[in-house]
Structure 1
Amino acid sequence: MPQEILILGLNPAWQRLFFLDKFTPGEVHRITNVEEYASGKGINCSRVLQNLGGKPLLMHFLGSDHGSRIFDEISGCGIGQAPIWIKEPTRTCTTIACGGEATELIEPSPVLSDFENKDFAQTLGEYWNTAHCVALCGSFPGNFDVECINGLDFTGKRVFVDAIENIDSWLEKGVELLKINMHEYSKLLDRMGIPQVKSSPQFWKMTATAVLERLPIKNLVVTDEESPVRAFRLVEKKFQSATVTPPAVEVQNSVGAGDSFFAGWLYADSMGLEFEECLVKSTAVAVARCEVDKPWMLSLERVAELEETIRESLEQQE
């Protein structure tokens, strides 16, 4: 029986997905295929994790009609929820999928009231003490009281982070995983004052070592679309890295690939897989996600096939 993972996906969205054969800015497009569904990093992660065999419990802010639709949809697929209901509507994310590429139009996040922040703090307190695994996904709504999570006690917790803004306090306490993309990695390096000489062949080793020596992060993973996925850690103060190359596939919709990667790592970790195997499985899950329209439609058989291919590309360095 998999252990329940508390997913803090605090900034969900109602997804509108348009499929076009050709997209040209400034022209009129008649759309023949439109799909709508619950989305956002926490939701995508939870649905993929459930598909893999994990047991997510999703906490998120929900408002107005879109919030109600999200609650009903997530309840209908059997995922446990701890919603915090807010006055402002849940944002809409509109994605135009065309030729394997996606253009995203994301509405502003809702702005929380002081009462809604207090409601969140109370609700989180009801689950925090019994949660052993916690995953933080994505951004926060407007006016979110970051201090209410910065002061949490991590004792006995295994914490995983897929975020970059306002998470320094969590990183300083120590996390199992920080998963970010290349753009976010550059922002983290800037914040930490670590030089970025990307032309240097030692760029990755120098920067990742500096991050891991300053912050108690057990595993650091950096993704970069079709480029190699890189994972780093310190074992007894010795630097280790592992790199895999995602295979080329026919992309249907790449939105949420990073969320699927995160879910893959959470599941692999819960199964007790080693560092390198966590990297292989999570990359396979992310690639399989890109081959289908919606994140939760990925095939477990396809994930297994991709794992074999990705494992062959594995490179390790100490």
Structure 2
Amino acid sequence: MSQEVLILGLNPAWQRLFYLDKFTPGEVHRIERVEEYGSGKGINCALVLRLLGGSPLMMHFLGSEHGSRIFDEISAYGIQQAPVWIKEPTRICTTIVSGGDSTELIEPSPVLTEYENEDFIQTLNDYWSSTQSVALCGTFPLGFNIEQLNALDFAGKKIYVDAIEGIDTWLEKGVELLKINMQEYCKLLTRLGLPIVLSSPQFWKMTATAVLERLPIKALVVTDEDAPVRAFRLVEKKFQGVQIQPPQIQVNNRIGAGDSFFAGWLYADGMGMDFEHCLIKATAVATARCEVDRPCNLKLERVAEVEMMLADAVEKLE
């Protein structure tokens, strides 16, 4: 995969990971192990895409000491960056991992100034015309001028989105992939005025068809933790839906599983894989990510093993 992917992960975080045998709110805990590293949806995606053999260009807002540490760490992984340096510090995300469960404490994002917004769009314009593939990951910082992003010319570009807030204009212009989780899918249905009747056996076909008919989305994917991953598209205006059940594994840490799935799909699509094989690859990547402590420790041989396990696991949704 030689094609470069511009990853807009505009709201990164410095991750503090606390490991405990047992976490009980209201009690004093002695932490067994602490890890700290750069994180956030865009960073997780870029790290995994790089491991898979992709060529990410990471663009993000970085501030203060933690921003500098993120820049140095991502550079050490061989990932090209186009940082926009800001006055306020990069937020900290503190995660407590205990017994396979994670509790996340996320600080508010930094608030951008008008000058920092101008710096962002000028930096982005330096890369936009030469970029064919763009991946938008996660939320925007407070004070971000979304209108300047929406005003960009999308002609000739493949746009991939792993976000739900502030993306309506992007979806209306047309995207290759919208990857969201179940909670986000319900938000999207509500925004579109579509009923959410989960008990209906036709829920997925009816809602996904309605979304794809209203918005020029080539592939819609909905993840839901341990439940099947579902992917939808319209082929010559006819509904096509498939699902795949991730295998049962010993979970080490789920942080960044969705971001890893997104990276797996980006890689597979960039390699020219078909719809179902993109789903298999992405699910295998997300599964293998959950078995290790950090996205950067993903094992490619394990990804290949899970792909083999899932090769005949794709089910059609009628």
The verdict on a shared fold, with TM-score over 0.5 as the criterion, is yes
Aligned letter for 1:57? L
Q: Provide the C-alpha distance between the structure 1 equivalents of 2:145 and 2:80, rounded to a whole number of angstroms.
A: 24
Aligned to 2:45: 45
Scaled by the length of structure 1, the TM-score of the pair is: 0.99
Q: Where do 1:106-185 residues align within 5 Å?
A: 106-185=106-185
Count of matched residue positions in the alignment of Structure 1 and Structure 2: 318
Question: Residues 205 and 317 of structure 2 are in contact (CA less than 8 Å); yes or no, is this contact kept in structure 1?
Answer: no
Where do 1:66-85 residues align within 5 Å? 66-85=66-85
Equivalent-residue separation in structure 2 for 1:75 and 1:42 (angstroms): 14
Question: 1:265-296: per-residue Cα shift (whole Å, max 9, x none)?
Answer: 00000100000000000000001000000012
Paired position in structure 2 for 1:63 = 63
Instruction: Give the structure 2 partner of residue 271 of structure 1.
Output: 271
* Counterparts of 1:2 and 1:142, CA distance in 2: 34
CA distance in 2, matches of 1:218, 1:59: 25
For residues 9-57 of structure 1, what are the alpha-carbon distances to aligned partners after superposition, in whole Å with 9 as ceiling and x for unaligned?
0000000001111100011000121000000000000000000000000
Aligned to 2:273, what secondary structure does the other structure show? coil
- Look up the equivalent residue of 1:311 and give its one-letter code: A
User: What is the CA RMSD across the aligned residues, in angstroms?
Assistant: 0.7
Q: What SS is found at the alignment partner of 1:123?
A: helix
Asked if the contact 1:244/1:311 (under 8 Å) is kept, the reply is no
Alignment identity in percent?
A: 72
Task: State the one-letter code of the partner of 1:283.
Answer: T
Which residue matches 1:235? 235
Between the aligned partners of 1:217 and 1:224, the Cα distance in structure 2 is 20
Moved more, 283-292 or 296-305: 296-305
Unaligned runs of 5+ in 2: none
Determine if contact 1:10/1:138 at 8 Å carries over to the other structure.
yes
* C-alpha displacement of 1:118: 0.4
Check conservation: 1:13, 1:91, Cα contact below 8 A. Answer: yes
> Is 2:300 the partner of 1:300?
yes
TM-score, with length taken from structure 2: 0.99
In structure 2, what is the Cα distance between the partners aligned to 1:301 and 1:246?
A: 17
SS at match of 2:51: helix
SS in 2 for 1:308: helix
- Is the Cα–Cα contact under 8 Å of residues 8 and 58 in structure 1 kept in the other structure? yes
1:312 match: secondary structure = coil
Which 4+ stretches in 1 moved above 3 angstroms?
A: none
